[in-house]
Structure 1
Amino acid sequence: MALSSRIANRLKLALCRRYGTVQAKAQARIASIDVTSGLAPSLIDSYSRRHDYLRISLTERCNLRCFYCMPQEGIELSPTGKLLTDEEILRLAELFVKSGVTKIRLTGGEPTVRKGISDIIAQLNTLRVHGLKSIAMTSNGIALHRKLSTLVDNGLTHLNLSLDTLDPYKFVIMTRRRGHEAVLKTLDAALGNSGLRQVKLNVVVIKGLNDAEVFDFIALTKDRPVGVRFIEFMPFTGNKWDQEKMLPSSELLARISQRHPDILRITDEANDTARSWRLPGHEGTFGFISSMSDHFCSSCNRLRITADGNIKVCLFDAKEISLRDRMRAGASNAELLRIVGSAVLGKQEKHSSMQDIDVTTNRPMILIGDCRLARGVHGHRRASAPLHVLSARPHGLQQVRYASSSAPTSTPSSLTHLDEHGRPSMVDVGDKNPTRRSATASGRIYIPAAAYALVSADYPTSSGALSDEISAAQSKARRKGDALTVAQLAAIMASKKTSDLIPLCHPLPITKVDAALTPEEHVAATSDAHQYSILCEATVKCDGKTGVEMEALTAVSVGLLTVWDMLKAVAGKEMEITDIKVTRKSGGRSGDFVRKT
């Protein structure tokens, strides 16, 4: 039996189970027509949705770190050998195009960081003879302006740029990187390139962070033929999604309609995810992708291939099947197509509700596509995100300073150090009454045995049995003075300089600072690196209008850094500073706090 016949029979059987015999015959007839029109039955699901759009993630890497795209703790990047090679990408692309796919979109991570992307696009362009009509790409635009012309010459036809803010300062907050000007430069280059058929801006809207900029983005469409798409904040594993931060598209449209009652609804492209509108006299358009509040599952025509070679039939479905493993095991194209058909037939009618998606274990968005990632510190293959940007309430051990104190049972709905435009702003505490306030913070620095011997009470007065090298290092360290006394003074001085170091902290009339540094030996330590440490504790008091937690934290931080400087001749780079936190505070309307140990 021919491959297409076997797949058609499987499709018919699935339709019979779902619709009954009469409807199944009709659906099977539609499927047979689709076969003659160029779409393989493998790309038609049991709800008759035709999947002629393929998104291919070229990489998991990115040169930005957008907080909504990745977990706070970072992710492990796949080893290079686990990612699809250029040849495997092109093989799958050709298989899908010959089966009826007419549009391919390249995503990431950030697709432009993939080496050889120009050649990949050029090779994809050769598939036009098999029915491919467009080659699109989603990019953050950071480095794209330098290579855009080449990519377009090689066959790129559509471009979506991710830009969530027009404020360069807020751009740094949301992406943890600079580059706002570079993205705007890419936008201008794209709009000026006649080879691109369409340019769109993707804007993830987060309530209290960038929703006030919606009208600024719409203003871009006046003289620019760009399509701005406002995307609802979506939950993915690890991105700390909060429904309170998700602004429904209907609410956003109501805001816009109130200011611009003359907006015009325009006809959307077939299977488009956005509902689009236009202001009279504007060159461009704007639209809404309402994946959470008003899904478009019934017209979904998309399939995804992840950078490590898995087929994913729904963005919000955790189920995946590896095509990479099958290819490397020697599977033929016919076998791969059977696997694709099986995955497509298993596609659900619609994705779960936003509450169910929020608790579903799925890939972080960065590992699916259209997102951004970067290498973490110390060379680890990971990336982290600024959790404080995502939620105004404290998480875990984090302490958030709210100068305008609130009742202990309430939390602010937005960041207190950003104004209504999202720009940095010092909180006005002029109307508050001064109260007696106190805060204690602590932190620890782990040190090697030689350094501990130097600062503890029983360190040797002469070199004794120590090696000449250690003896010389200890002598050099002692010449700087008593390490702990110097660190104690540094901690006290730093607390009084907090407002000079932290931009939006208020100068406070400090009345008392106590700082103590205590050598510790951890007998039960499981690691030699954590056997010895110095504990730094600082308590700061004042009669003021805002708390002194930041002053206590600054004292501890600088005290520990001073220990590092004093002992580096002995300890080298083996030391580790950790566990800096507020342990207690009192005063103010927010009440008292004692950390549970």
Structure 2
Amino acid sequence: MTTQLIDSFNRRIDYVRISVTDRCDLRCNYCMPKGFTDYEEPKDWLTFDEIERVVKAFTALGVENIRLTGGEPLLRKDLPVLVSRLSQVDGIDDISLSTNATQLEKHAVALKTAGLNRLNVSMDSVDPKRFHELCGRDALDDVLKGLKAAKEANLNPIKINSVYLHDTPDHEVDALVEFCIENHFVLRLIEAMPMGDTGRAAGKSNLQKTKLRLQSQYGLTETIERGPGPAKYLVSGDGQFKIGFITPMSQHFCESCNRVRLSVDGTLYLCLGQNDRFELRPLLRSGASQTELIEAIQDAIKMKPERHEFNESPKKIIRIMARTGG
């Protein structure tokens, strides 16, 4: 059996994003529709045992990087227990978490102790009023407390993920930059994508002018550093500040895509911007052997499309980001 997972376009898949819930305690206006209640039933969530089985199948195929996502993953009960279990799986090199940090203050130490390696925090503004407008709750103070707790727990590096909208003003971006410089966080700006009606309503964004402006304003230079994700980074002259740009709309990175997403109900989404998928839960609950699970994943990866079509077919993806998984 091969120790690497290679798709039909000769891309090695070594990164899996695993959603542990589709629920969230924020209502970001580019993500989840107002009044949304179409959540997966808990009986259909993958259990921790099932998630561990899937992770072991992927590691048998050379996957090294796991990210836990949602919805808001810290709404899943006993998440540090899952982190601990996955950290002990042979072959896992890195376990990270994407969170909005509203619940992070009470979980940071337990997550660090459990073996969490890295943390990405979604935060679109450091202005309380703007944060409330974008995220539907006056929760910025909770996020800041969560970030403080994460720093004190030595959950490093901490990356701040901020969705860049077509009408995001320069001063909002600059405030995020200054906040990250002050706190030694890595900032990552992400172009909004047309995922569901809410994503399309957010408008088409393009980071290229903002990237050039920040590069000049802060004396940043290109770096060849790449992580498991798609961000391309600029770094300050003293090396103390890094900012990444994730540009699925203006400069897609499909040729180097190395990831798939597993939703909370066991659906393996093979591309964020396509509808290709493979259902793993029926296999897990019908007594399939680990070998059969591994072979199913290999078959699924053959279905991974070459690229998304966000620009060509912006109405194609009906599902919202929270249902897809991070």
The reply to whether TM is greater than 0.5 is: yes
Matched residue, 2:58: 96
Distance (whole Å) between structure 2 residues aligned to residue 354 and residue 65 of structure 1: 25
Q: Measure how far apart 1:240 and its partner are.
A: 5.0
Matched residue, 1:299: 256
Q: Measure how far apart 1:328 and its partner are.
A: 0.9
Matched residue, 2:235: 278
Matched residue, 1:142: 102
Q: Does 1:171 align with 2:131?
A: yes
Distance (whole Å) between structure 1 residues aligned to residue 114 and residue 237 of structure 2: 36
Matched residue, 1:227: 186
Secondary structure of the residue that 1:105 maps to in structure 2? strand
AA in 2 matched with 1:208: D
Matched residue, 2:271: 314
Distance (whole Å) between structure 2 residues aligned to residue 110 and residue 285 of structure 1: 25
Matched residue, 1:326: 283
Matched residue, 1:367: 323
Distance (whole Å) between structure 1 residues aligned to residue 263 and residue 109 of structure 2: 26
Distance (whole Å) between structure 1 residues aligned to residue 124 and residue 173 of structure 2: 10
Q: Measure how far apart 1:285 and its partner are.
A: 0.9
Matched residue, 2:212: 254
Matched residue, 2:221: 264
Question: Quick one: structure 1 residues 362 and 335, their matched pair in 2 at CA, closer, same or farther if it must change by over 3 Å?
Answer: farther
Matched ranges for 1:6-17 at <5 A: none
Matched residue, 2:8: 46
Q: 1:185 aligns with which of 128, 141, 145?
A: 145
Matched residue, 1:74: 36
Q: Measure how far apart 1:95 and its partner are.
A: 1.5
**Deviant stretches of 4+, over 6 Å:** none
Secondary structure of the residue that 2:200 maps to in structure 1? coil
Distance (whole Å) between structure 2 residues aligned to residue 240 and residue 92 of structure 1: 30
Q: Measure how far apart 1:315 and its partner are.
A: 1.0
Matched ranges for 1:104-503 at <5 A: 104-127=66-89, 130-194=90-154, 196-239=155-198, 241-242=200-201, 245-260=203-218, 262-281=219-238, 283-356=240-313, 358-370=314-326
Q: Measure how far apart 1:69 and its partner are.
A: 1.0
Distance (whole Å) between structure 2 residues aligned to residue 133 and residue 147 of structure 1: 22
Distance (whole Å) between structure 2 residues aligned to residue 249 and residue 268 of structure 1: 19
Deviations 1:193-234, CA, capped at 9 Å, x for gaps? 33x342100000113245531111111233433110000011
Distance (whole Å) between structure 2 residues aligned to residue 72 and residue 240 of structure 1: 13
AA in 1 matched with 2:320: P
Task: Report the RMSD for the aligned CA atoms in angstroms.
Answer: 1.8
In structure 2, runs of 5+ residues without a counterpart are none
Q: Is the 1:274–1:287 contact (alpha carbons within 8 Å) kept by the matching residues of 2?
A: yes
Deviations 1:163-201, CA, capped at 9 Å, x for gaps? 00111111111111121011112222223333x342100
Q: Measure how far apart 1:98 and its partner are.
A: 2.4
Distance (whole Å) between structure 2 residues aligned to residue 183 and residue 50 of structure 1: 35
Q: 1:64 aligns with which of 26, 44, 62?
A: 26
Q: Is the 1:223–1:284 contact (alpha carbons within 8 Å) kept by the matching residues of 2?
A: no
Q: Measure how far apart 1:340 and its partner are.
A: 1.3
Q: Is the 2:27–2:34 contact (alpha carbons within 8 Å) kept by the matching residues of 1?
A: no
AA in 2 matched with 1:340: I
Q: Is the 1:47–1:349 contact (alpha carbons within 8 Å) kept by the matching residues of 2?
A: yes
AA in 1 matched with 2:249: M
Matched residue, 1:543: none
Distance (whole Å) between structure 1 residues aligned to residue 228 and residue 96 of structure 2: 16
Question: Quick one: structure 1 residues 225 and 84, their matched pair in 2 at CA, closer, same or farther if it must change by over 3 Å?
Answer: same
Distance (whole Å) between structure 2 residues aligned to residue 347 and residue 265 of structure 1: 30
Q: TM-score, normalised by structure 1?
A: 0.53
Question: Quick one: structure 1 residues 272 and 117, their matched pair in 2 at CA, closer, same or farther if it must change by over 3 Å?
Answer: closer
Q: TM-score, normalised by structure 2?
A: 0.94
Secondary structure of the residue that 2:148 maps to in structure 1? helix
Distance (whole Å) between structure 1 residues aligned to residue 159 and residue 299 of structure 2: 33
Distance (whole Å) between structure 1 residues aligned to residue 262 and residue 34 of structure 2: 25
Q: Is the 2:267–2:279 contact (alpha carbons within 8 Å) kept by the matching residues of 1?
A: yes
Matched residue, 1:86: 48
Distance (whole Å) between structure 2 residues aligned to residue 368 and residue 136 of structure 1: 18
Distance (whole Å) between structure 2 residues aligned to residue 193 and residue 355 of structure 1: 44
Question: Quick one: structure 1 residues 299 and 271, their matched pair in 2 at CA, closer, same or farther if it must change by over 3 Å?
Answer: farther
Deviations 1:95-120, CA, capped at 9 Å, x for gaps? 21222111110000100010111111
Deviations 1:532-586, CA, capped at 9 Å, x for gaps? xxxxxxxxxxxxxxxxxxxxxxxxxxxxxxxxxxxxxxxxxxxxxxxxxxxxxxx
Q: Is the 1:223–1:283 contact (alpha carbons within 8 Å) kept by the matching residues of 2?
A: no
Greater shift after overlay, 66-75 or 84-93? 66-75
Distance (whole Å) between structure 2 residues aligned to residue 224 and residue 187 of structure 1: 10
Secondary structure of the residue that 1:203 maps to in structure 2? strand
Q: Measure how far apart 1:300 and its partner are.
A: 1.1
Q: Is the 1:159–1:199 contact (alpha carbons within 8 Å) kept by the matching residues of 2?
A: yes
Distance (whole Å) between structure 2 residues aligned to residue 284 and residue 152 of structure 1: 23
Distance (whole Å) between structure 2 residues aligned to residue 282 and residue 182 of structure 1: 30
Question: Quick one: structure 1 residues 154 and 270, their matched pair in 2 at CA, closer, same or farther if it must change by over 3 Å?
Answer: closer
Q: Is the 1:118–1:154 contact (alpha carbons within 8 Å) kept by the matching residues of 2?
A: yes
Q: Is the 1:265–1:278 contact (alpha carbons within 8 Å) kept by the matching residues of 2?
A: yes
Distance (whole Å) between structure 2 residues aligned to residue 89 and residue 236 of structure 1: 25
AA in 1 matched with 2:319: R
Q: Is the 1:236–1:362 contact (alpha carbons within 8 Å) kept by the matching residues of 2?
A: yes
Question: Quick one: structure 1 residues 110 and 360, their matched pair in 2 at CA, closer, same or farther if it must change by over 3 Å?
Answer: same
AA in 2 matched with 1:63: D
Q: Is the 2:27–2:33 contact (alpha carbons within 8 Å) kept by the matching residues of 1?
A: no
Question: Quick one: structure 1 residues 123 and 186, their matched pair in 2 at CA, closer, same or farther if it must change by over 3 Å?
Answer: same
AA in 1 matched with 2:245: F
AA in 1 matched with 2:185: V
AA in 2 matched with 1:81: K
